Structure 1
């Protein structure tokens, strides 16, 4: 809002004020004047001396009576008069010289006073300019450097296209920090296999929470998500899980699988586990020896008999057997689900992640199950009166089928749950869903040239954005950020104890980010370089620029009545720790500051204070991320 006033005006020195000629009497001029006076007075002085000597001689001659006193008296009068006249002339010349010297000295004094007056005026002008500069400098120093990027209230989803794992880590840490510290709940489904919520988990621990972290498939026995679903919903979840490997399946195929699973679950009864379902499918597909499942207690003799009569023995029997075999081969990856489930303490942060050492296909099956089961849980939950109070983040959403994403979006919209979807690449499935419905789109670094072209066409290449040098400076320092999750639902798996309550509340969000995240530690070092705080560069939204965005840069865009709005933001959570950061939006802060009658003294309440702790209650989280 206020430009940098630059260095202070230079104070004028006496040497910089031009000295006027004749500011002091020249001694050489005095010597020349005296020399000229002496030259002019020399004949007069000589005549006067001669007349004085002649007067003395006449006086001597008069006393010796060589010359009569009458003649002597006349001679004394003549010679003495001439001598006195010569002396008077010499004195007049000396007085005239002293008068000229005094005039020169008076003139020099006036010039000196004029110079001093000019110097005083210059210093007064400097003092006025310095006061103006100091006022502008104070405005510049007191103004905020970082403002929040807000989205309209009706937005209930953010699609994040592109980005690297460190960039996603920054974004999730930023969103999660503001969500948790304002009292909300957060669920992270990490399909990226990159532990991008690790900093957020450490930050939550420092804030006094005890996050729940599942690392699948190892923690599958302790995951009870979907255990309480009714048979119809459970069958629907399992049918979608099976479809994960069959991208071109039709709704008819899905309904056929769903019908098989519903009939199997009807035989097994309520609260059937996955391993019971797979045992029933093996019996239906005539795979293996059903007596093994009878001995293990997965099936009873009555259930086995009913399964054998579920479908007829006609021509379609072979179709049922093939589908049952396909269902069993994929659902067996979930057999351990909930087998060792125990009651876990409530947590405001829940993270379900995929182990990178597991198989790619197995992780897709597990991710689809969690997303679909979560969808049904949301569908059965009442709509919240606080939008975004519960926020779900799906990292790597491009690994889910399009219909799974659509159902999750609809469930979140119905339940007033905030949804953030991050996509590594813009597949056709992703492209047709970007910004659809009530959603904003956030573009991060897009390495693929075709994805960058699609993104630039979506935003419009005429937009000119300004990138802070701080964003470019910090990004390379954490570009290699990575790690692994540590499960908190396994006995003795957590390697660190949660922070005590006293320590957790110490310093609030600022100290938490600074000490618990790699972003905070990197920003502390960069903040010491004053030159990176205010410098920036501009660029146009073009494909090659989108391919070179810094790690934490986010271009946020959404449609408005006036046209598409495009803004550039920084997802670095360390910005929340800067002393000149506000959770208010730039336009809001400017409107408050420029409103006539707004108090400007230090005692006035700051409408948008720096973020030293939880966001103000009157600021909804949707307008603080």
Structure 2
């Protein structure tokens, strides 16, 4: 009975061990099956993920390869005026060629007044000729007599525009009384002359007021005209101030009259509506600089008068004034106002960002293009116009370097004595009797130790720190404006209330490159397609510092001339 109990217990224990082992083997087998299934699922999911990633990368690479790099850019509002500040000859010629191709292809005409002596109309003239558009050119003052600039203008208007022209060149021209006196004298002459009015005939009339004889050659005035002018001598007076004004006017008109005006009965300049391209260029190659400047003023005032008398219907025509910096702020403002009233799109090309141009840009429904400005002061004024913005910059960078050396020495000694005592008794009882014993033991142990320790520790440390500060600085630095390529520009448009700056390039050859889009980049809102808009330039939004974007995600800054189509609705 006592032997069977342990045997049964041992058997149960063995059975339990065997059952537990079988359970472990079964669960391990099931776990292995589940692991194999999950591993296959993982491998399948991984393969699918890798295939998706590769497919996405291939598609993204194809998108980047085929995505347009160049997108058109235009003012977002119905800007009726574009003011261009700075730029080189090549830059202006490229801009005019790009803009002009858009205007001509839309059925509009272009009148170019080139006072800059840069010959910027050659490029657009070649494009217009190749495309079959009519092109005509006039070189002033050589063609002054042939053109008959004063034809079909009322005598009072002739007197007014000539007074405005000569007043701008007169020293101390800020006196309105002198301009009124000039206008009165010229009105006295012009209203007593028979048509056609020419500079030669007006100068002869002023000589009559001075009491001088006619110049050598045929008399430009009839006896009746001379008598009518002479009858006004007493009304005007003979004061020194009157005589000085008459002398100044006569000297100016005689400079304008140099050349043959007998051909003035020929074809007059075509104003508005225009057909094709007409270039009116003034030059000082064969004349004095003073005469050239006087021609500039008179031609500007004549065009201003024609604009003032034009109808207010919206047209596709465009007027380009190159080098109008010296016309004065009042004349530039009048030109901008009357061009807008007449529905003529105006483009001003200013060689310098002078006081007049600086006060004009950004006014009204206009957009501004900043091109290369080499002068540091002008570049700073242009950067100020583009604007400032907040950004974070590193204001302080620190570095702390440290090194330490630590040495040490220590000694220690000690000992111990251990005494142990053991005592015991033992005994037993048997058939023979009782036996017993007694024992005792004593043990003594003794130990001693000593220790010497030396230590050496070397520590090097370096700590770097940077502090960023929020600053309010130029969005475009002046040095970047000075370093712009000849055909690059910064477009500033704030006529919708939201000011934006965009970087672009007006090289007309870019349109021939591959991957050129015909619509604006999605990141750049398209310009309104209503009359007055100049969809002429392309580019991208300018981040602070003119940072270039990724070629795959952002368009390169270029210029692309597209046909301009008004919104008939």
Indicate the larger mover: 122-131 or 370-379: 122-131
The answer to whether the 8 Å contact 1:577/1:612 transfers is no
How far apart, in 1, do the equivalents of 2:85 and 2:147 lie? 29
Match status 1:554 vs 2:481:
no
1:294-332 deviation per Cα after TM superposition (whole angstroms, max 9, x unaligned) = x61311222222222213289643322221110011112
* 1:77-92 to 2 correspondences below 5 Å: none
Partner of 1:301: 223
1:414 to 1:337, Cα distance in 2 relative to 1, 3 A: farther
Q: Deviation of residue 583 (structure 1)?
A: 4.2
1:356 to 1:271, Cα distance in 2 relative to 1, 3 A: closer
Q: Deviation of residue 190 (structure 1)?
A: 0.6
The answer to whether the 8 Å contact 1:191/1:399 transfers is no
How far apart, in 2, do the equivalents of 1:614 and 1:298 lie? 51
1:311 to 1:402, Cα distance in 2 relative to 1, 3 A: farther
The answer to whether the 8 Å contact 1:397/1:423 transfers is yes
Scaled by the length of structure 1, the TM-score of the pair is 0.60
Per the alignment, in what secondary structure is the counterpart of residue 419 of structure 1?
Answer: strand
1:265 to 1:356, Cα distance in 2 relative to 1, 3 A: closer
The answer to whether the 8 Å contact 2:73/2:524 transfers is no
How far apart, in 1, do the equivalents of 2:134 and 2:340 lie? 28
Match status 1:326 vs 2:248:
yes
How far apart, in 2, do the equivalents of 1:439 and 1:319 lie? 42
The answer to whether the 8 Å contact 2:365/2:495 transfers is no
Partner of 2:262: 339
Per the alignment, in what secondary structure is the counterpart of residue 582 of structure 1?
Answer: coil
1:255 corresponds to which of 180, 189, 205: 180
The answer to whether the 8 Å contact 2:146/2:263 transfers is yes
Scaled by the length of structure 2, the TM-score of the pair is 0.66
How far apart, in 1, do the equivalents of 2:338 and 2:261 lie? 24
How far apart, in 2, do the equivalents of 1:616 and 1:276 lie? 44
Match status 1:367 vs 2:315:
no
1:252-310 deviation per Cα after TM superposition (whole angstroms, max 9, x unaligned) = 211110111111011113322111001111221234x23x47x6131122222222221
Partner of 2:85: 161
Per the alignment, in what secondary structure is the counterpart of residue 388 of structure 2?
Answer: coil
How far apart, in 2, do the equivalents of 1:280 and 1:435 lie? 44
Gaps of 5+ in 2: 1-40, 392-473, 527-558
Partner of 1:530: none
Partner of 1:615: 563
The answer to whether the 8 Å contact 1:278/1:332 transfers is yes
Partner of 2:154: 230
1:463 to 1:317, Cα distance in 2 relative to 1, 3 A: same
2:305 corresponds to which of 358, 365, 376: 376
How far apart, in 1, do the equivalents of 2:317 and 2:240 lie? 46
Q: Deviation of residue 373 (structure 1)?
A: 0.5
* 1:187-586 to 2 correspondences below 5 Å: 187-246=111-170, 248-249=172-173, 250-287=175-212, 289-290=213-214, 292=215, 296-312=218-234, 316-335=238-257, 336=259, 339-341=262-264, 342-343=266-267, 347-357=275-285, 358-386=287-315, 389-462=316-389, 540-560=475-495, 562-586=497-521
- Aligned residues between the structures: 408
How far apart, in 1, do the equivalents of 2:560 and 2:239 lie? 67
* 1:113-192 to 2 correspondences below 5 Å: 127-192=51-116
1:264 to 1:589, Cα distance in 2 relative to 1, 3 A: closer
Q: Deviation of residue 429 (structure 1)?
A: 2.1
Which one has a larger percent helix, Structure 1 or Structure 2? 1
Gaps of 5+ in 1: 1-116, 465-538, 592-610, 621-625
Q: Deviation of residue 462 (structure 1)?
A: 2.8
Which one has a larger percent strand, Structure 1 or Structure 2? 2
The answer to whether the 8 Å contact 2:84/2:371 transfers is yes
1:371 to 1:176, Cα distance in 2 relative to 1, 3 A: same
How far apart, in 2, do the equivalents of 1:463 and 1:550 lie? 27
Q: Deviation of residue 124 (structure 1)?
A: 7.2
The answer to whether the 8 Å contact 1:144/1:581 transfers is yes
Q: Deviation of residue 175 (structure 1)?
A: 0.9
Per the alignment, in what secondary structure is the counterpart of residue 103 of structure 2?
Answer: helix
The answer to whether the 8 Å contact 2:83/2:367 transfers is yes
Computed over aligned residues only, the root mean square deviation of the Cα atoms, in angstroms, reads: 3.1
1:619 to 1:542, Cα distance in 2 relative to 1, 3 A: farther
1:455-502 deviation per Cα after TM superposition (whole angstroms, max 9, x unaligned) = 1111113389xxxxxxxxxxxxxxxxxxxxxxxxxxxxxxxxxxxxxx
Partner of 1:512: none
The answer to whether the 8 Å contact 1:177/1:200 transfers is yes
1:590 to 1:130, Cα distance in 2 relative to 1, 3 A: farther
Indicate the larger mover: 128-137 or 250-259: 128-137
The answer to whether the 8 Å contact 2:489/2:505 transfers is yes
How far apart, in 2, do the equivalents of 1:551 and 1:324 lie? 46
1:435-469 deviation per Cα after TM superposition (whole angstroms, max 9, x unaligned) = 222221111111111111111111113389xxxxx
How far apart, in 2, do the equivalents of 1:235 and 1:338 lie? 19
Q: Deviation of residue 584 (structure 1)?
A: 2.5
The answer to whether the 8 Å contact 1:247/1:401 transfers is no
